Chains A and B, each alone.
Chain A
């Protein structure tokens, strides 16, 4: 892991610099197929909807990345924050049968983040006093009870019929809605980068590793834990807001009982399989878990081609869990850095470093695992 390579800056002579500038061009060209894939493939009619769903998963992945990856706290109740975001924006706009007003749509998005951020702050206040298994249990109970008690109120779930949230006209098509979801992903991605590159992320990682050291460095440990929960909750809430317009209604059944718990579990599994504190890995894992989800047309297509369609249709709600479980096991046993560790040479290359399969600084995913970051 620790190969003694001198820092890049020190070894880059002038000629190397010129060469590395030429390589920028190579990187742009290499990135083009990826960009084309992300932008153009969903333009195909059948793929737009599942792509938007994947974008929502990526947002939730980034949310879990802040909480579990950076702050080192676990949440088994994240479906409650996603659901609360969906509930807030749907009830605020309550379109009936007409398309949403663009202004109210924007207000709804902001409020979904605000509401879930506030709820996460509440959970964080509890989490300050407990850790490990107890924290996992409390978040599990919080998520289930919060969803089952509040989402099922008839005044909030449209008398059990669901609250309609029709998309505003400018993003009414599935592909346009996908582009909107992609823009929201970009916002969350930007926030994640800002968090990690400033004192916020350093403070969170410091308290994840060692709370005593963090406070000796001047980090307000209690405040930063709450901040970690709040940022994570707000991103999850925004994802929920997008989700409400993806399904075009808020239905409590998406977030309560078995469906809700299933969702929460998938979120935790995807952040571990992606690689703790590894942004790229978590996003890739989120896309993967969206594509193998029970609603995925991709899985159905594969099943049809292989002649397993009937079997798949009967068992599709378990198959994604099974895939998740297998991947979780192989991550924990064989590849603790997760998918992020596998992708890291490529991510580093795109970021301007020379391509190398041996990571000179170890890799944050492995470091995070070694630091016994997730106290659960």
Chain B
């Protein structure tokens, strides 16, 4: 049984069809990549899967259940964690407090119990805090424990965001460009880290990523989107050499029989694909 299955997903914003009939599957223990030039609909797909957008058509199955219509916080409680393209954390809180907030669905006490502040709540809070500290140690961020997020570098924030996503103990992790803002060396480390996480915690992942060496290193399977449509799928090496994918990213002509695809004139996608 697949952890995540997206069937015939379509979403329209007014006259624009942002995603058109996307089919996608992520099996347990897999790390699956979602690629495509800017504006292809990758983040929109994430937003549909996590419940921030309501798809116009199609379904999202999580562990066999139809979760298409659930709101984001319910999906988070089911074990779907996600990160954001531009770092999604609570800016005014400290690093430790963010890791505590991330464990919101795992607290195990109700709102009224929290307000009354029983001893059980306090004991549970201590457990949550030690779990947060363990995650900080795991990611090597211990020294930043009591810092507010404004004082941290972008790379540190991206790493911390990954830590927050892990703190909720997810079964499925959706990572939106985890390596953005990282140099080649850092993104290589990130690849190792993702593989280690899968091995140690058994997390299944779907990641949006432009950095080809990282995708090749960690992904078992890759989907490529272009203008909301699935352009290609397969293992990373197959996709990398796929003529349409090359055409979509680099511009230029696709081979005759595949020439239907429009070629985006996107300098940034080009730069990212070739970096």
Contacts and interface: CB of A to CB of B under 8 A. Distances in A.
A200 B111 contact: yes
B167 to A, nearest CB: 9
Interface residues of B, number: 42
B150 A217 contact: no
Contacts of B146: 7-8, 360-361
B25 interface: no
Contact of B73 (A195, A198, A218, A362): A218
A191 interface: yes
A371 B91 contact: yes
B91 A193 contact: no
A269 interface: no
Given A218-B76, A231-B115, A367-B148, A212 B52 contact: yes
Interface string A205-230: 11011101111111111000001000
B114 A216 contact: no
A373 interface: yes
A221 B114 CA distance: 17
Nearest to B151: A2
Contacts of B145: 7
Contact of A218 (B93, B97, B104, B114): B104
Interface string A358-374: 00111010011011010
A366 to B, nearest CB: 9
Interface in A342-368: 360-362, 364, 367-368
B100 to A, nearest CB: 6
Contacts of A362: 148, 150-151
Nearest to B143: A6
Interface in A179-214: 190-191, 193-195, 197-200, 202-203, 205-206, 208-210, 212-214
Interface stretch (B13-21, B82-90, B188-196, B225-233): B82-90
Nearest to B164: A217
A143 B272 CA distance: 55
A315 B71 CA distance: 55
A220 B76 CA distance: 10
Contact of B76 (A7, A200, A216, A360): A216
Nearest to A191: B115
B44 interface: no
Interface string B45-89: 000001010000000000000000001110011000110100011
Contacts of B93: 202, 205-206, 209, 367
B76 A215 contact: yes
Contacts of A205: 90, 92-93, 101
B92 A364 contact: yes
B92 A368 contact: yes
Contacts of A213: 84, 88-90
Contacts of B107: 198-199
A191 B117 CA distance: 8
B269 interface: no
A277 B93 CA distance: 12
Contacts of B82: 216
B92 A217 contact: no
Nearest to B103: A199
A2 B95 CA distance: 14
Nearest to B108: A199
A373 B101 CA distance: 17
B117 A194 contact: yes
Nearest to A8: B146
Contact of B117 (A198, A361, A367): A198
A198 B114 contact: yes
Given A191-B115, A202-B97, A218 B150 contact: no
Nearest to B93: A205
Contacts of B103: 199
Interface in B156-209: 164, 168
B105 interface: yes
B150 A210 contact: no
Contacts of A277: 92
B121 interface: yes
Given A199-B107, A203-B104, A209-B91, A367 B150 contact: yes
Contacts of B151: 2, 362
Given A218-B105, A219-B104, A361-B148, A206 B115 contact: no
B125 interface: yes
B216 interface: no
A194 B115 contact: yes
B204 to A, nearest CB: 17
A208 B91 CA distance: 10
Interface in B104-149: 104-105, 107, 109, 111, 114-117, 121, 125, 143, 145-148
Contacts of B23: none
Contacts of B148: 2, 361-362, 367
A193 B117 contact: yes
A370 B91 contact: yes
B261 interface: no
B150 A203 contact: no
A175 B151 CA distance: 48
A189 to B, nearest CB: 12
Residue picked from A195, A197, A216, most chain B C-beta under 10 Å = A216
A360 B145 CA distance: 11
A202 B104 contact: yes
A371 B164 contact: no
Residue picked from A2, A199, A371, most chain B C-beta under 10 Å = A199
Return the 7 tightest CB-CB contacts between A and B, nearest first.
A194-B117, A218-B76, A218-B105, A367-B92, A198-B114, A2-B151, A215-B72
Interface of A: 2, 6-8, 190-191, 193-195, 197-200, 202-203, 205-206, 208-210, 212-221, 227, 231, 277, 360-362, 364, 367-368, 370-371, 373
Given A194-B115, A205-B92, 9 more contacts: A199-B109, A200-B114, A202-B100, A215-B71, A215-B72, A216-B72, A216-B81, A216-B84, A370-B91
